[in-house]
């Protein structure tokens, strides 16, 4: 059985995707948050639209703020959300 990575979406990311999360089996080639986001954006037009402007996204892995170089793997929880600052 594949270990599933839990993805959580918040705010307008959730609205663009039409769901608040998904469980996916990551390809073995994906080792970092940046690679995960690149791969997610290729999954559907909705994913591509939601993830198009990376400067407007923040990512947390297991509730810790992450960047493109943060390792990610099976069984991790990855949250994608806009910066919480106003504007």
List pLDDT tens digits, range 9-56.
Answer: 999 999 999 999 999 999 999 999 999 999 999 999 999 999 999 999
- Once rounded to an integer, what is the mean pLDDT over residues 59-87? 91
Query: What is this structure's pTM?
Result: 0.90
Q: Which residue(s) pair with 58 in the sheet?
A: 81
**Closest C-alpha to 28, from 72, 59, 61, 77:** 72
């Amino acid at each position: 059985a594949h270990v599933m990575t839990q993805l959580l979406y918040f705010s307008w990311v959730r609205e663009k995707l039409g769901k608040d999360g998904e469980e996916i089996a990551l390809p073995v080639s994906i080792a970092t948050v940046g690679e995960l986001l690149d791969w997610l954006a290729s999954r559907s037009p909705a994913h591509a639209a939601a993830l198009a402007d990376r400067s407007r996204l923040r990512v947390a892995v297991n509730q810790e703020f992450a960047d493109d170089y943060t390792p990610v793997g099976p069984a991790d929880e990855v949250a994608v959300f806009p910066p919480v600052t106003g504007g």
